[in-house]
A and B are shown apart, each in its own frame.
Chain A
Amino acid sequence: MASSAGPDFDIVETRDLSRFYGRRKALANVSLSFKAGELVALFGPNGAGKSTFLGVLSTLLRPSAGDVTYGGRTAQDLGDAARTRIGLLGHELFLYGDLTARENLEFFGRLHGVTDLDARVGDALAAARLEARGGDRVASFSRGLRQRLALERALLHAPRLLLLDEPFTGLDDESAELLVARLRQLGGRGTIVLIATHDFDSADGLVTRGVCFRNGRTRDLAAGSGTLRARYRATLQEDWT
């Protein structure tokens, strides 16, 4: 694989994970487990705890109570090396507008210690269908193009756990299709993909599992053969206590 050896794992678990700020509970006793190859959608209204959950899993936020384990080891045990296997794509994409697409990829690739950087950057630009625009400043890209680039940036180091926060926002159809195809590919390779999203249509047919968030608590998406949206609505009607 591309990055230097780091701890690998094929299961990520949270046990009674909670996070509070003063009087607000952003996450309340969340216990979930994710296995290699799973593509999981996280649904829920704004403020329900999806972003916080992704934040804790990415190790950027620390739990107020409970823990997260990656292959049985906590973030504390793994230290900085934990992040060799985790990729995060937030709302804001983490791209430097003043740098070119290629420079952005090279920068993050170097920080991750990616070997064979030129080849990997070339592959990434190709996967994002941005070969022609590698030398253009990112500030000149549309949202869709930036998203594609950002995704490839998050994947440069071949993470085992990929966390996406509202990746479909503001995407045109072509970019959304590309994203779905790419994510499906990753699932096939054994990556654990968690997608917080409101876009039921794009997630339909992509994800194998759904988790619904409300007020910091979670509930598995109701089983059934209907669309994701319908199943989500059904889950909200259930008794969450």
Chain B
Amino acid sequence: MIGVFRAAWIIARKDLLVETRSRELVYTTLFFAVSCVLVFAWAFVREGKPIDNASAGVLWVAIVFSGTLALGRAFERERQSETLRGLLMAPIERAAVYLGKLFALLVLMILVEIVLVPIVALFFHAPIGRAPWLLAGLLVVGTVGFAAVGTLFAAMLVRAQSRDVLLSIVLYPVTVPVVMTGVQGTAAIFAAEPDFGLAQTCLTLLIFFDAVFVTLALWTFAPVMHE
């Protein structure tokens, strides 16, 4: 039996390979995220000026919404050829399937964010150059938290009825701390008088969240997947 991380890497590589071939997820998720931002622009831009510090919220909401769609779609694809069962039949620790899928989703979401952040900055006049590493840190760590919970729930729901709407229903309450803290930290960086200390506190809180919930997800993945 091969080790857990090796197996996870093989799975993640496969997911990324499939995605490079079809590019379905990248294109659709990105386009959706940008459309989302535009919808917010209609709502929050008055007389050609975005209202105070809307950019942080817009960015995070676009990430969460598009991330949820990408999750649903990624697992729906697995469901169609039952390939998730194929993965579960492999003689690897179940946690490897979780980690592999998580990593692939992270790559996808971060790619989307790399495009999304400049676009939000453009439309909402957000000063993204002010503290780029801190901003990147918040986004990456927050995305990990969202994806950690999302991957577990999406996998769980693969065989459930009403899975598409149920994913959003269960995911949003659980990721409230991530979004709230992420927006808080990002807004602190973008504010007229930036508060980097607060942003750093938010980053620390997000790191704790990630640690707890990735661990919890690793523990529950195997029992939950065993019907």
* Chain A in direct contact with chain B (Cβ < 8 angstroms): yes
A positions within 8 Å CB-CB of B: 3-4, 6, 55, 58, 60-62, 80-84, 86-88, 90-99, 103, 107-108, 110-113, 137, 157
Indicate whether A58 sits within 8 Å of B14 (C-beta atoms), given known contacts A91-B82, A97-B81, A98-B22: no
Cα of A23 to Cα of B89 in the assembled complex, Å: 28
Which chain A residue lies CB-closest to B10? A110
Mind listing 18 A-B residue pairs with CB under 8 Å? Answer: A3-B91, A6-B1, A55-B227, A60-B226, A80-B91, A80-B92, A81-B91, A84-B91, A95-B83, A95-B86, A96-B14, A97-B81, A98-B18, A111-B7, A111-B11, A111-B87, A112-B91, A157-B91
B169 interface residue per 8 A CB criterion:
no
Which chain B residue lies CB-closest to A86? B89
Enumerate chain B residues within 8 angstroms of A108, measured Cβ to Cβ.
86, 90
Enumerate chain B residues within 8 angstroms of A111, measured Cβ to Cβ.
2, 7, 10-11, 87, 90-92
B101 interface residue per 8 A CB criterion:
no
Enumerate chain A residues within 8 angstroms of B82, measured Cβ to Cβ.
90-94
Contact A80 B93, beta carbon cutoff 8 Å: yes
Contact A95 B81, beta carbon cutoff 8 Å: yes
Enumerate chain A residues within 8 angstroms of B21, measured Cβ to Cβ.
98-99, 137
Contact B10 A107, beta carbon cutoff 8 Å: yes
Which chain B residue lies CB-closest to A153? B86
Cα of A94 to Cα of B90 in the assembled complex, Å: 12
Enumerate chain B residues within 8 angstroms of A90, measured Cβ to Cβ.
82, 85
Enumerate chain A residues within 8 angstroms of B88, measured Cβ to Cβ.
60
Interface pairs A-B: 3 shortest CB-CB: A94-B86, A92-B82, A83-B91
Size of the chain B interface, CB-CB below 8 angstroms: 26
B180 interface residue per 8 A CB criterion:
no
Give a binary string over B80-108; 1 marks a CB under 8 Å from any A CB, 0 the rest: 11110111111111100000000000000
Enumerate chain A residues within 8 angstroms of B80, measured Cβ to Cβ.
92
Cα of A94 to Cα of B84 in the assembled complex, Å: 8
Contact B92 A96, beta carbon cutoff 8 Å: no
B45 interface residue per 8 A CB criterion:
no
B17 interface residue per 8 A CB criterion:
yes
Enumerate chain A residues within 8 angstroms of B85, measured Cβ to Cβ.
60, 88, 90, 92, 94
Which chain B residue lies CB-closest to A95? B81
Indicate whether A112 sits within 8 Å of B86 (C-beta atoms), given known contacts A93-B81, A96-B81, A99-B14: no
Which chain A residue lies CB-closest to B95? A80
Q: How far is the CB of A149 from chain B (nearest CB, A)?
A: 12
Q: How far is the CB of A94 from chain B (nearest CB, A)?
A: 3
Cα of A61 to Cα of B14 in the assembled complex, Å: 26
Which chain A residue lies CB-closest to B93? A80
Contact A113 B1, beta carbon cutoff 8 Å: yes
